[in-house]
Amino acid sequence: MPSTLASVADSMLSETARTNALAEFRRAPGEHERPGRYWKIDLDGLEIPFEALVQGSVEISFSGELPDGVIACDLATAEREHGELLRQVFGCTEAASRKFGTLARAYLTGGAFIYIPDGVELPHLTVTHRLVGHAGVASTSVLAGNGARGTIVERIEAPAGAFVCQTSEIVTGERAEITSAAIQQLPLDARILASRGARPGRSSRIAFALADLGASLAAGSLDVTIAQPGVESRVSALFFPTSTQHVDLVTRVHHDVGDAVSRTLVKGAAAGAGQARYVGSIRIAAHAQRSDASLRDDTLLLSEHAHIDSIPALEIAANDVKAYHGATVGAIDEDERFYIETRGISRTQAERMIALGFFESVVDCFPTETLREQLREALAAKIG
């Protein structure tokens, strides 16, 4: 097991806490589908570089102006100086109990803590996790007070062949508005296992904008738990495996109370021998009347060797709700391509335009034009 942080004694980051987390990881059932005809990777039996995780570490840096009262620091400083605040978010979402979330807690040697006080707006803050060594845990904990507003962008930098375990948690007070964005562009021989979770407060708005473009294996899960009325949750995600990349994404929105809205939009494409699987679910509890939920998942195959599995699901126990899910899997529409070609555009360029346009509804959900342009450029490079 890794050694404890220098300033931490009996705490959530203690040796005992890590040992318990590792035991949870080994007991926890898998949350991803088993291998099938196309998907060859068994995530439950994945070889974990435990020794490298012990030896590795992650450097944290922040970019952006901090308004008065906002805290952005590493976890050791947070526990030493802001322990009561940290305990309101660390380990308090579904991400902490997911299989790869428990692995992250077991080998956590550092991370980022961000606190936005009541009524304060944080226009834009980028937190960068820079892997030192070939394995490590990237952890971000965000706590927002009543009426707080903020945009948090996460970045991960790692060397070739790296193994990254990522966890991200967001907890808010009432009437908060938080946007979390991340574009994963790790080296193509890296692997990343990510667990994200959020618990928005009453009448709060939380939005996720996520993109998986790098790594040979990117397996991620996102849980939004709606436990207070008036919440609006928006999850927007895209993935684009090419060559022999594999992406496995799971999103879950839990409506545990009524009078709340959730919108999930996922766009996925695959080229070359790229493989992907998306499992999206919305659960509405029996007492969560007047919930309004939708899940939309569209996928585009750009190669005869590419494959994407799409599995949307609704679990509805209440009778006074609005709920919808839809999914499409297909290739580029021949009529659409022909129409573009009649305008003097080559077949290759027509396909490129269609593929880029396919992602645009999710790209638009990213919080800044700089991020949107970076994402468009990265998608264009993958299309070729």
**What count of other Cβ atoms lies within 10 Å of the Cβ of residue 40?**
9
DSSP string over 92-120: -SGGGGSHHHHHHHHT----EEEEE-TT-
% of the chain exceeding 70 in pLDDT: 91
The total number of structural domains that make up the chain: 1
Q: Are 307 and 331 contacting, i.e. CB atoms less than 8 angstroms apart?
A: no
Residue 6's pLDDT is: 35
What pLDDT score was predicted for residue 43?
84
Q: Span 89-108, mean pLDDT?
A: 92
* β-pair partners for 236: 209, 265
User: For residue range 185-213, what is the model confidence (pLDDT) as tens digits?
Assistant: 999 999 999 999 999 999 999 999 999 99
What does the alpha-carbon distance between residue 53 and residue 57 come to, in Å, rounded to a whole number?
A: 8
pLDDT category at 54 given cuts 50, 70, 90 is: confident
Q: Is residue 133 part of a domain?
A: yes
Give residue for tokens 């996922």: 266
Find out whether 54 and 107 touch, Cβ atoms under 8 Å: yes
- Residue 332 DSSP one-character state: -
Q: Residue 8 domain-assigned?
A: no
pLDDT-based confidence at residue 119 (cuts at 50, 70, 90)? very high
**Residue 12: is its pLDDT beyond 90?**
no
Res 110: pLDDT: 80
Band (4; pLDDT cuts 50, 70, 90): very low
Residue 1: what pLDDT? Answer: 33
Q: In this structure, how many other beta carbons lie within 10 angstroms of the beta carbon of residue 344?
A: 7
What is the three-class DSSP state of 200? Answer: coil
Residue 188 falls within a domain, yes or no?
Answer: yes
Residue 215 is given by DSSP the state S
Q: Which residue has the tokens 């990777």?
A: 41
Split at pLDDT 50, 70, 90, the class of 357 is confident
Residue range of the domain that includes 206: 15-383
Q: List C-alpha distances in Å: 346 to 303, 340, 343, 349, 356.
A: 18, 8, 9, 5, 15
3-state SS track over 288-324 = CCCCEEEEEEEEEECCCCCEEEEEEEEEECCCCCEEE
Per-residue b/e over 123-147, b at no fewer than 16 CB within 10 Å? ebbebbbbbebbbbbbbbbbbbbbb
pLDDT tier at 38 (50, 70, 90 boundaries)?
Answer: low
Going by C-beta distance under 8 Å and a sequence separation of 6 or more, which residues neighbour residue 256? Answer: 225, 226, 227, 285, 288
Give the CA distances from residue 307 to residues 116, 268, 382, in Å, rounded to whole numbers and listed in that order. Answer: 42, 11, 16
The arithmetic mean of pLDDT across residues 295-303, rounded, is: 92
In the structure encoding, which two tokens stand for residue 38, read together?
A: 């196309």
Give the predicted TM-score (pTM) of the model. 0.92
pLDDT at 230 over 60: yes
**Residue 5 located in a structural domain:** no
Torsion, Cα of 137, 152, 253, 106 (10° steps): 20
Q: Which residue has the higher pLDDT, 278 or 43?
A: 278
**Residue 168 pLDDT grade (very low, low, confident, very high; cuts 50, 70, 90):** very high
DSSP one-letter string for 225-283: EE-STT-EEEEEEEE---TT-EEEEEEEEEE-SSS-EEEEEEEEEE-TT-EEEEEEEEE
- Structural domain contains residue 7: no
User: Residue 336 has what pLDDT?
Assistant: 62
Per-residue buried b or exposed e for 295-327, using 16+ beta carbons within 10 Å of the residue's own CB: bbbbbbbbeeebbbbbebebebebeebebebee
- At 310-345, the pLDDT tens digits run 888 899 999 999 998 888 877 666 656 544 556 656
Sign of the CA dihedral running 220, 190, 103, 87: negative
DSSP string, 333-373: -HHHHHHHHTTT--HHHHHHHHHHHHHHHHHTTSSSHHHHH
**Locate tokens 């009432």: which residue?**
174
**pLDDT at residue 326 in the model:** 84
Residue 169 counted as domain residue: yes
Question: pLDDT of 155-164, one tens digit each?
Answer: 999 999 999 9
Q: Has residue 6 been placed in a domain? A: no
| Mean pLDDT over the full length of the chain | 89
- Residue 46 is predicted with a pLDDT of 86
pLDDT exceeds cutoff 60 at 3: no
